[in-house]
Amino acid sequence: MSDPIPVQARPVHASPVPGLNAADLTYMFFRHKWKILFCFLLGVGAAGFIYFRNPPSYVTEAKILVRYILENRPALTKTEDADIKTPDSRGENIINSEIEILTSLDLALQVADAVGPRNVLAAYGGGEDRNRAAAYIRRGLTVNVPRRSNIILVQFRHPDPGVARQVLDTLLKTYLDKHVSIHQGIGVLDDFFAQQADQIRARLAQTEEEIKRLKAEAGIISLADAKAATLAELARLRSDLLTTEAQLAEQRAALNHLLGSVGTNALAAVTNASTVPPEIAEQYRTAVAELEAYRRRESELLLRFGPEHPFIRRVRTQIAEADTRKRSLEQEHPELLTAPVVPVAAPTNTNDLAQAVARVLSLEAKMAVLSNQIARVTEDANRIAAVEPRLVELERRRELDEANLRYYSATLEKARVEESLGPGKITNISIVQSPSPAARDVFEFAKPMALCLGGGLGLGLALAFALERLFGMAIRRPVDIERNLRLPLLVSIPYLKRRGRGWGSARPARNGHEPTPQPGGNGAAAELPVPTGQRGGPLAVASDQDPLRPWFDGLRDRIVTYFEIRNMTHKPKLVAVTSCHEGAGVSTLAAGLAASLSETGDGNVLLVDMNVDGGATQHFQHGKPVVGLLEAIEEGRADDALIQDNLYVVSAAATNDQKLPRVLPRRFANLVPKMKASQFDYIIFDMPPVSQTTITARLAGYMDMVLMVVEAERTGQDLARRAHTLLQESKANVTAVLNKKRDYVPERLRQEL
C-alpha cells in the first residue's frame, strides 16, 4: 500500500469572516419565513388595534403667508434705519421661529382659555382642566412648510368637526397677537439699557478722578502739551549748553593769548584790583548770571503758558532762590556793590585781560546753570514718561465709556419715544386661507400603522438575522463548508423525513438516520445478516430499497474518480468515515458506501466497526460469533464475516482477548502489511467522532482518505474547525460530506448542486 496522496482542496475565494450576499439573504429569509411571517402578523395586529382603538377624527386646515418682518427698533445694533428680515431660501430663518410660536404651550393655553376647556375635552371624556385641553390642542396641531415656499400650512384634528374649526380659527387670531407681542419687545430691554448707563457713568467718574490725580502728581495739565513743552525745553537747553561750551572755549583761547601778551605783572594787577576774595566774587558772579538766565527763561515761558503753569511756577522759584543767594552775598560783603573786580582806570591791556577773565567766568557760570536746568527738565520728562502709559489707558477707557454711555442713552431715549408712539414692529403676515370646513381624516393613523407594519417585518428580519448569524453559527449549506473549513465537498445528502410506517418506522439508529429496511419484507430482514456494533446497536447495511442509495452511489463514484485521477491503484484502499459528534450518520454512511463499493466489480470490501467503547467484546450473529478485524486478516476467517457478495463486516474488538478491547495505533501499524496482502480492495472504517480521547485523529494518518461527516444545522462551525485541525495534525487527507441538508429555498432560486 503506497502512501496517501494529499488532497488539494478547491480554492475558495472568501474572507475569514464572510459577509452576506444575495444567496445568504435568500436562504436566511426562506429558512426563517415562518418567524418573519409571525412577526409581520404581529405588526398587522398592532396596526389593526390602532385603527379600531382610536375614534375617527376631523381635520381642518389654514395657510399663513410670511412675506417679511419690518423692525423699526434696532435692539442691539447702532444702525438708524429699520431692518427688514425676510425668510431665507430654505425657509429655515423666520419661518421656523413662527412655527415655534404656533406650537408653543403658552399659545395652546391661551386658545384653550378662549375656546373653553370643556368644549375641547368633551370628546375626550370631559373635564375643565386647561392644561389637559392645551395638551390635546398641541397633539392635534400639525404645522408644515411646503418646499420652496414661505407659506405655513396649519392643520388641526379633533373628533368634533365644529370644535376643530373653532379651535383653529381662535389659534390664528391668538397667534397674530402673540407674534406682535413677542417681536415688538416693548420694555424688555429698557431696564437693561438704564442699568448699563448707570454702571458706565459710575465707571466714567472713577476714571476721571484717577486721571486728575495722576496729572496732579506729575504736575501737568495736558499730557500732550506737557510732553511737547518738556521735549522742546530740553532741546533748547542742550542747544544753549553746546553754544555756551563753544563760547567758553573761544574765550579761554582769547584769555590765554592775552596772558601771553600782557605778562605776569598785569595779571597780578588785575587780580589785586579788587579787595573781594576771589571765591566770593565767583559766587556773586554765578548768582548774578543765574538770576539773569532765569529771568530770561521766565520771559520766554510767559509767551507760551499762563502765569499758573507749573513751568512758570518752577522758574519763579528758581529766580527767588538765585536772588536770595545774591542778596545774602551782598549783605555779607557790601564791597561787592561798590568794588568792581577789574578796576576801570587800569591800563588798556589790563582792561582787556580783566574783561576776558570776567567773560570766561560768566560762561562757566552759565554752563553750570544750563547743566542744572537740563537735569531738572530731564527729571520732569522722566516723571511724565512714567505716568504716560497709565494716563493713555485711562483716557482710552474714558473715551470708550463716553461712547457707550452716549449709545445706551440714545437707545433708551429712542425706545421710550417709540413706546409712547405705538408698536415697535410692523409685521406683514397674512392669512392666505381661513380654516376650512372639517373633513374626515383617513390618513391620521397611516404613519403609526405603517410603522407597526414595518416594525413587525423589521423585527422578523432582525430575529432571523440574529438566529442565523449570532446565535446559530452552525454549518447548514455546502457553501459553509467551503467558507469555514475550506475542504472539498464530495456529496450533500438531504434530510429525508419519516413517512408512515415505511422504512422509517423503527427507532432511529445511532448515526442519526432512520434504520434502513432490509429486503424481503415481512421478516425478511432477519434473513440478511446484520452485524452489530460494540455499543449493542445494529451496524446498518444499505439495500437497494434504501432512499439514501442514490447518494451512496454518488459518493462511491466521487471516491472512485478521486483514486483514478490520482493513479492510486494499490490495494486495499483505506477509507475512514468519522464526524465531529455522535449521531451525525457515520455508521449509515459507512455501511451504504461499503455496500455500494462492493457492487462495482470483483473487488471485495471490508467494513470495520471501530466503535468499541461498549462493555462487551464478544458478539454473535445467527448463532455464530462476529469475526474481529485481527481474525479476519491474520487467521484467514474472512469468509465468516461475509454478509453479502463481496462485502465483509468485522468488528475492531478482539474475540480472543478481552483485555485488549480496541486496536491501538502501534498494533494497527503492524496490521498495515497484512492489510496490503489481503484480498480486499477497499477497507471502510466506521470511526468514532473526532475528539481528544478517541483514536480517530491518531489513525487518520494511515488512511488514504478521511470522510468527515458534517450534520447540517447541528455541527457547529468552531467544532468542525477544531476537528479538522486535529485531523490535519496527523497529515490526513480530509474531505467532507454534508449530511441531513435541508433545502429551504425554492428550486428555481437555488444556486447549489
pLDDT for 24-33, tens place per residue?
A: 777 777 788 8
With 50 as the cut, is the pLDDT of residue 1 above it?
A: no
Q: Of 270-274, 329-333, 457-461, 561-565, which range is least confident?
A: 270-274
Strand 604-609 relative to strand 647-651, pairing: parallel
Reported as a single tens digit per residue, the pLDDT across 518-557 is 333 333 333 333 333 444 444 545 556 678 888 888 888 8
H runs (alpha helix) in 103-222 = 105-115, 117-121, 130-140, 161-184, 190-218
Q: What pLDDT is recorded for position 132?
A: 92
What integer pLDDT is reported at residue 706 of this predicted model? Answer: 92
What b/e sequence results for 97-119 when a residue is b if at least 16 CB atoms lie within 10 Å of its CB, and e otherwise?
Answer: bbbebbeeeebbbbbbeebebeb
Which has the higher per-residue pLDDT, 368 or 620?
A: 368
pLDDT tier at 667 (50, 70, 90 boundaries)? low
Task: Find out whether 457 and 43 touch, Cβ atoms under 8 Å.
Answer: yes
Q: Chain-centre distance of CA 499, in angstroms?
A: 59
Alpha-carbon gap, residue 662 to 750, rounded angstroms: 45
705-711, strands of its sheet edge to edge: 489-494, 734-741, 705-711, 573-579, 680-686, 604-609, 647-651, 642-644
The answer on pLDDT for 208 being more than 60 is: yes
H, E, C per residue of 295-323: HHHHHHHHCCCCCCCHHHHHHHHHHHHHH
- Other Cβ atoms less than 10 A from the Cβ of 662: the count is 18
Question: In the structure, how many helices (H) and strands (E) does the chain have?
Answer: 22, 16
What pLDDT does 169 receive?
92
pLDDT for 709? 92
Q: State the chain's maximal CA–CA distance in angstroms.
A: 185
Q: How many residues does the chain have?
A: 753
pLDDT per residue over 160-195, tens digit each?
A: 888 988 999 999 999 888 887 776 655 556 667 777
111 band by pLDDT with thresholds 50, 70 and 90: very high
Q: What is the pLDDT of residues 705-753, one digit of tens each?
A: 999 999 888 888 888 889 988 888 888 889 999 888 787 777 777 666 6
CA distances in angstroms from 743 to 30, 480, 583, 635, 747, listed in the order given: 9, 14, 20, 48, 8
Of the candidates 597, 577, 750, the residue with the CA atom closest to the CA atom of residue 681: 597
- Per the CB < 8 A criterion, the answer to whether 705 and 575 are in contact is yes
pLDDT band at 509 (very low <50, low <70, confident <90, very high): very low
Q: What is the pLDDT of residue 344?
A: 36
Percentage above 90 pLDDT, the chain: 5
What are the tens digits of pLDDT across the range 552-609? 888 888 888 888 888 888 888 889 999 988 888 888 888 888 888 888 765 688 888 8
Please list the helix, strand and coil fractions of the chain in percent, rounded to the nearest 5, in that order.
55, 15, 35
Instruction: Please give the Cα distance from 651 to 617 (Å, whole number).
Output: 9
- 98 close to 183: Cβ distance less than 8 angstroms: no
* Distance separating alpha carbons of residues 590 and 608, to the nearest angstrom: 9
Of the pLDDT bands very low, low, confident and very high (cuts 50, 70, 90), residue 514 is: very low
**What is the residue whose three cell numbers read 570776567?**
358
* Confidence grade of residue 645 (pLDDT, cut at 50, 70, 90): low
**Predicted confidence band at 6 (pLDDT cuts at 50, 70, 90)?**
very low
Distance CA 4, CA 490 (A): 18
Residue 248 or 428, more confident: 248
More confident residue, 138 or 266: 138
The band of 306, judged by pLDDT with boundaries at 50, 70 and 90, is confident
**What is the rounded (10 degree) CA torsion for 376, 380, 383, 384?**
-160
pLDDT score, position 88: 54
Highest mean pLDDT among 72-81, 238-247, 650-659, 731-740: 731-740
Long-range contacts of 5-8 (CB under 8 A, 24+ apart): 5/566, 5/568, 5/704, 5/733, 6/733, 7/488, 7/705, 7/733, 7/734, 7/735
- Between the ranges 375-384, 640-649, 730-739, where is the mean pLDDT highest? 730-739
pLDDT at residue 652, rounded to an integer: 60
Full 3-state SS string of 603-622: CEEEEEECCCCCCCCCCEEC
Q: What's the chain's average pLDDT?
A: 74
Q: Are 349 and 261 in contact (CB under 8 A)?
A: yes
Supply the pLDDT for residue 135. 92
Q: Is the dihedral of CA 499, 504, 507, 512 positive or negative?
A: negative
Strands (E), 654-697: 680-686
Model confidence pLDDT, tens digit, residues 477-501:
788 888 878 888 888 888 876 544 3
Residues 6+ apart with CB under 8 A from 260: none
> Which of 751, 741, 745 shows the shortest CA–CA distance to 33?
745
Neighbouring C-beta atoms of residue 8, cutoff 10 Å: 9
pTM (2 d.p.)? 0.46
Q: Are 43 and 455 in contact (CB under 8 A)?
A: yes
d(CA 707, CA 726): 14
551 and 491 in contact (C-beta within 8 Å)? yes
